[in-house]
Amino acid sequence: MNPKYQPLMESFRFKNGVETNNRIVLAPMTISYSRQDGTVSDELLAYYESRSSGVGMAVTGSAFVAPGGKVFGGELAADRDDKIPSLQRLAAAMKKRGAKAVLQIFHGGRESSPEAVTSGEIVSASAVAKEGSGVIPRALEEREIEEIIRAFGAGARRAVEAGFDGVEIHGANRFLIQQFFSPYTNRRDDRWGGSLENRMAFPLAVVDEVQKAVAEHAERPFLVGYRFSPEEEMTPGITMADTLQLADALANKSLDYLHVSLMDFWSKPRRGVTDPRSRMEIIHELVGSRVPVIGVGAIRTPDEALEALRSGVPLIALGRELIMDPDWVEKLMRGKENEIRTELTLNDQERLGIADPLWQRIIQTPGWFPIANP
């Protein structure tokens, strides 16, 4: 291996004692390979085993904690105890070559589709329709909010029992937790909405419940992380100033890490702060001394990963890059970084083991993945 990349391959030890072999993380991406009941398929196991190979930590795509939280269909299920054997198979596949395995848990809220949800009923913080869908969700009642909070805790317990090394609470990408935090989707006037403090109540309650479940059931160190999106483009929406207050509150919860969901690691704030630095640098400066931050976003080459690491962020996540080249880490360690593939061709689906729903999104979303001309 080229010695200059050694910092990427150094181990990392979380405060609770969990240690990764290196600084590279498989970012969570929904790959739509589960069976319709949310159990793992052979294709999904093969996918995660290959993408976990070489990384220090691997995070699954979102696993729903309640039947009403499904979005795409083909997601993982963590909503019932009879799914634990399936989750055990997944954890074992991800850990086979030394990676720490983390189950991401979520609820889709208004992002769910009536076709995916068994009841056909979509719920959210408030009755604000998803743009372009025409489907108006029903605002959750107090009792239902408490049930979903408990469902996150139960999902974390199942992850413990399945042999995962941690869970990541999915508070990003416009799913239910973010819907409660956002003034755009949360129009409530009770204790779950209104002020910024009230809009943080649901995310923080989920964190408390998950940490409680882990403390009760984990017999060894077990990671609890939280992923969030820093800003929303709509008005009113989450601003960078809002996110810094949430990040500060999360950092005080003794979480094991915060994972920032970005398309570009070096992107800068839209509004809410005048700081000219990147969002990642601002967030890391605020919370980095209290909780490790995972950075992600358009990092393709080892040089780009090294530059991101030099920002001070201790862990670098790769999502699209590990879809395009599952051997990214292995090539780096063997000194073959020039052979790392950083674009797709239209003939790559079968070779890379990419499910049809994900492949269709890749080729139909201009600019999401770099695709070479035939």
Q: What is the pLDDT along the chain (374 residues), one digit of tens a residue?
A: 999 999 999 999 999 999 999 999 999 988 777 787 889 999 999 999 999 999 999 999 999 999 999 987 788 999 999 999 999 999 999 999 999 999 999 999 999 888 878 777 999 999 999 888 888 999 999 999 999 999 999 999 999 999 999 999 999 999 999 999 999 999 999 999 999 999 999 999 999 999 999 999 999 999 999 999 999 999 999 999 999 999 999 999 999 999 999 999 999 999 999 999 999 999 999 999 999 999 999 999 999 999 999 999 999 999 999 999 999 999 999 999 999 999 999 999 999 988 888 898 898 998 889 998 75
Non-local CB neighbours of 359 within 8 Å, separated by 6+ positions:
349
Q: Supply the pLDDT for residue 374.
A: 58
For residue 21, the model assigns a pLDDT of 97
Residue 240 backbone zone (phi > 0: left; psi -120 to 50: alpha; other: beta): alpha
Q: Which amino acid is at 172?
A: A
Cα 101 from Cα 186, distance rounded (Å) = 33
Q: What pLDDT score does 78 carry?
A: 97
Q: How far apart are CA 274 and CA 279, in angstroms?
A: 11
The whole-number pLDDT of residue 354 equals 87
Q: Which CATH class is domain 3-364?
A: alpha beta
Q: Tell me how far apart the alpha carbons of residues 362 and 344 are, in angstroms, rounded to a whole number.
A: 10
- At residue 176, the pLDDT reads 98
